[in-house]
């Protein structure tokens, strides 16, 4: 297991190298180069621009810049934000817990909702409930996240006035736990939609396969009550591929979080990324892009590892 983890992590290194190279090359493709943020500001003269480019090392060959940037990046020096004039890494780390909170809440909600629904649909295959759930899953798969967010704001904030439509708490006040939870509700609901339909369909399909196996037929022959059969014998086996699929979908929550954070003014990394993109703040952009890629790679690894954990028959080596 440890050997497997080490080998998989080592495999991620060239992947990350390729990703940072792509991001870096893309930066060079900006019309005006990475210092474009300073161009067009009225009190920045051509001499200032040259000085800035020299300070940032932008007058050196691209390859040299890349090596220098990468060396610093690995050492934790992610550059200074052009806009906030603070280390990019600090800015990102400040916001990261908020994003993780939102992702964690939404992912948990999706799982908690999809397990009973998926089970119900599988056990009552082709019933009215199953067909309804099929239709709802299709609806869920096709709803744009940002539109759902806006509709929830319209319903719960504008019309019913029961839930706040943005932020993490009332501005300027240290909020207590119930207030914080109230602010978390709408963003979590919106974000959980990202995969709940898919999770439900997946668990249903997986459970239907399990229900058709000989050992499930045998549990019935033994006279075990249905409830126990479904939960103890059925779900446990159906959950094996389900867990993997959930892990594989973690990046979708990161991406969805970006959209949700911009709608609900949630101060997370996604919103920071968007703000930085609008302002050409590229040290921050690069940092978050790489963190995002690490999340993708880690969730792939997690999916593989979890597969081995929940199913002892699978050996990872």
Q: Kindly state whether residue 312 participates in binding other proteins, applying the rule CB under 8 A.
A: no
- Hey, what long-range contacts does 72-79 have (CB within 8 A, 24 or more apart)? 73/20, 73/286, 73/290, 78/283, 78/286, 78/287, 79/283, 79/286, 79/287
Of 249, 268, 272, 284, the residue at the interface with other proteins (CB under 8 A) is 249
- Decide: residue 168, CB within 10 A, 0-12 exposed, 13-18 middle, 19+ buried: buried
Residue 270 — φ and ψ, nearest 5°? -60, -45
Contacts (Cβ under 8 Å, ≥6 apart) of 108:
none
Nearer to other proteins, 184 or 193 (CB): 193
C-alpha to C-alpha distance for 263 and 216, rounded to whole angstroms = 46
Q: Mask of contacts with other proteins, 156-175, x by CB under 8 A? A: --xx-----x----------
3-state SS assignment for residue 310: helix
Q: Kindly state whether residue 144 participates in binding other proteins, applying the rule CB under 8 A.
A: yes
| Residue 87, beta-bridge partner list | 80
Of 107, 210, 259, 302, the residue at the interface with other proteins (CB under 8 A) is 259
Nearer to other proteins, 29 or 128 (CB): 29
Contacts (Cβ under 8 Å, ≥6 apart) of 212:
none
Of 47, 142, 177, 223, the residue at the interface with other proteins (CB under 8 A) is 142
C-alpha to C-alpha distance for 104 and 254, rounded to whole angstroms = 10
* Closest residue by Cα to residue 301 from 107, 12, 2: 12
Shortest gap between Cβ of 184 and other proteins (angstroms)?
20
Of 120, 210, 263, 302, the residue at the interface with other proteins (CB under 8 A) is 263
Q: Kindly state whether residue 238 participates in binding other proteins, applying the rule CB under 8 A.
A: no
Nearer to other proteins, 73 or 273 (CB): 273
| Element of type H or E holding 196 | helix 177-211
Q: Mask of contacts with other proteins, 277-306, x by CB under 8 A? A: xx-x----x--xx--xx-xxx--x--xx--
C-alpha to C-alpha distance for 133 and 137, rounded to whole angstroms = 6
Binding residues among 184-223 for other proteins as defined by CB under 8 A = 193-195, 197-198, 201-202, 205-206, 208-209
Of 147, 181, 225, 232, the residue at the interface with other proteins (CB under 8 A) is 147
Q: Kindly state whether residue 24 participates in binding other proteins, applying the rule CB under 8 A.
A: no
C-alpha to C-alpha distance for 49 and 35, rounded to whole angstroms = 8
Shortest gap between Cβ of 34 and other proteins (angstroms)?
9
Shortest gap between Cβ of 223 and other proteins (angstroms)?
28
Nearer to other proteins, 23 or 224 (CB): 23
Nearer to other proteins, 159 or 221 (CB): 159
Read off the tokens for 217: 């037929």
Q: Mask of contacts with other proteins, 98-137, x by CB under 8 A? A: ------------------------------------x--x
C-alpha to C-alpha distance for 221 and 66, rounded to whole angstroms = 67
């Amino acid at each position: 297991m440890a050997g497997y983890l080490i080998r998989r992590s080592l495999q991620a290194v060239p992947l990350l190298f390729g990703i940072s190279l792509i991001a870096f090359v893309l930066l060079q493709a900006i019309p005006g180069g990475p210092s474009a943020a300073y161009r067009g500001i009225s009190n920045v003269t051509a001499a200032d621009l040259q000085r800035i480019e020299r300070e940032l090392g932008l007058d050196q060959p691209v390859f040299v810049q890349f090596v220098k940037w990468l060396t610093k990046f690995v050492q934790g020096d992610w550059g200074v934000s052009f806009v906030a004039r603070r280390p990019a890494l600090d800015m990102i780390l400040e916001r990261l817990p908020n994003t993780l909170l939102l992702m964690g809440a939404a992912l948990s909600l999706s799982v908690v909702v999809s397990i009973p629904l998926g089970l119900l649909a599988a056990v009552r295959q082709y019933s009215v409930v199953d067909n309804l759930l099929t239709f709802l899953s299709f609806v869920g798969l096709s709803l744009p996240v940002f539109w759902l967010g806006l509709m929830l704001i319209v319903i719960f904030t504008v019309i019913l006035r029961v839930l706040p439509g943005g932020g993490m708490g009332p501005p300027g006040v240290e909020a207590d736990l119930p207030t914080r939870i109230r602010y978390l509700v709408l963003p979590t609901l919106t974000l959980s939609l990202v995969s709940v339909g898919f999770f439900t369909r997946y668990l249903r399909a997986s459970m239907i396969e399990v229900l058709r196996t000989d050992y499930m037929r045998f549990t019935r022959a033994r006279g075990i009550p249905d409830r126990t059969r479904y939960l103890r014998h059925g779900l446990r086996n159906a959950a094996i591929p389900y867990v993997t699929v959930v892990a594989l979908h973690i990046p979708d929550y990161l991406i969805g979080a970006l959209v949700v954070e911009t709608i609900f003014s949630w101060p997370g990394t996604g919103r920071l990324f968007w703000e930085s993109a609008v302002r050409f703040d590229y040290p921050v952009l690069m940092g978050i892009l790489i963190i995002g890629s690490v999340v993708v790679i880690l969730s792939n690894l997690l999916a593989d590892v979890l597969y081995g954990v929940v199913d002892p028959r699978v050996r990872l080596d």
